């Protein structure tokens, strides 16, 4: 099998009880602010550029 320059990036979440949503179906606990402790930010353009690199 030939070597290709492939990369996998995954964003995954799970709660301690094994359920993602609250009893009412909400997943608000997964939402994060647009600012980070390290001072880095991700603009909407950055997010679009990243998503454009995903092919599957």
CA distance 24 to 20: 11
The confidence score (pLDDT) of residue 46 equals 87
Residue 7 has pLDDT above 80, yes or no: no
Mean pLDDT of 15-33: 78
Quote the pTM value.
0.35
Residue 29 has pLDDT above 80, yes or no: no
Residue 36 has pLDDT above 70, yes or no: no
Three-state secondary-structure class, residue 35: strand
**What is the total count of domains within the chain?**
1
- Domain range for 26 is 1-56
Q: What are phi and psi of 41, to 5 degrees?
A: -130, 160
């Amino acid at each position: 099998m030939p070597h290709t320059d492939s990369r996998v990036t995954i964003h995954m979440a799970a709660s301690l009880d094994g359920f993602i949503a609250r009893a009412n179906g909400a997943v608000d606990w997964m939402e994060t602010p647009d600012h980070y402790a390290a001072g880095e930010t991700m603009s909407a353009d950055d997010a679009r550029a990243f998503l454009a690199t995903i092919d599957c």
